[in-house]
Amino acid sequence: MKSLRELTPAKLQDVRILLSDIDDTITSEGQLEAHAYSALHRLKQAGFIVIPVTGRPAGWCDHIARMWPVDGVIGENGAFYFVYDRARKKMRQVFWTDDDAMRRNRARLDALGSEILEAIPGCALASDQPYRLADLAVDFCEDVPPLAEHDVERIVAQFEKAGATAKVSSIHVNGWFGDYDKLTMTRRMLADEYSLDEAQSARSVIFAGDSPNDAPMFGAFDLSVGVANVRDMLHRIASPPAYVTTHHSGKGFSELADHILAARGA
């Protein structure tokens, strides 16, 4: 990974869209601090399109799309994207699968959740699980004492044994049934909302993240940045980011925002 200093103004001249993970990328130790929220505002005021790409639930994403200075949000690791039309006061929701498939998958995931909790002592359903529509989030360190790495691997194995996709974030193992992830829904949103194909996205999009479920995004975008705590997860990340910040978590995100804005003279 290269220093952020090597992400030169020339490389950033065509960037107009910032995609970013939330947990431990925009937030720090579970909190959205003032400097990070200010960074979102400053990017928006400078004319950038800002879209969080998160594993967090639909209930949170409705709030984020409405209340944060963003242009939309991709949630539950790519299960959907939400865009809030402030002029019309209307939320537009685009889901990867139809309602019937989501209902069937919900029942399978609920049953699988009970099996995982019984098989792996110490884990728990994530506190935000009641607000999820398409996935199951198993907490291994957010609101429970941190589990050993081999226990996290056992959670992943339980999902995969049932035929589900499983991705590890900095706090949860998220599992779902479906052929999507953060990247597939990002591609769909960029095409549908901004008429961007993969080649155009390579020039105009930058992504920031920190954990294994961001690996598809790191691998897809040449302008990919890890906040410094990404180093703690590199053993789990098949495709690491191209660049890395000096600071961790939200301070790293603010560092990236400052770098982008300085490069554009904003």
Rounded to 10 degrees, the C-alpha dihedral 91/261/254/10 comes to 110
pLDDT at residue number 265: 85
Describe the crossing of helices 249-263 and 34-45 by its angle, rounded to 10 degrees.
20
pLDDT at residue number 266: 65
pTM (predicted TM-score):
0.95
Each residue's pLDDT tens digit in the chain (266 positions)? 999 999 999 999 999 999 999 999 999 999 999 999 999 999 999 999 999 999 999 999 999 999 999 999 999 999 999 999 999 999 999 999 999 999 999 999 999 999 999 999 999 999 999 999 999 999 999 999 999 999 999 999 999 999 999 999 999 999 999 999 999 999 999 999 999 999 999 999 999 999 999 999 999 999 999 999 999 999 999 999 999 999 999 999 999 999 999 998 86
Residue 138 to residue 127: CA distance in whole angstroms: 9
Contact in structure between 164 and 109 (CB atoms under 8 Å): yes
- Give the domains, in start order, of the chain with CATH numbers: 2-96+180-263 (3.40.50.1000), 99-176 (3.90.1070.10)
3-state SS class at 19: strand
Question: What are the residue ranges of helices labelled H in the chain?
Answer: 9-12, 34-45, 58-67, 99-119, 149-161, 182-194, 198-204, 215-220, 249-263
**Chain centre distance of CA 261:** 22
**How buried is residue 137: exposed, middle or buried, by Cβ count under 10 Å (0-12/13-18/19+)?**
buried
Contact in structure between 65 and 173 (CB atoms under 8 Å): no
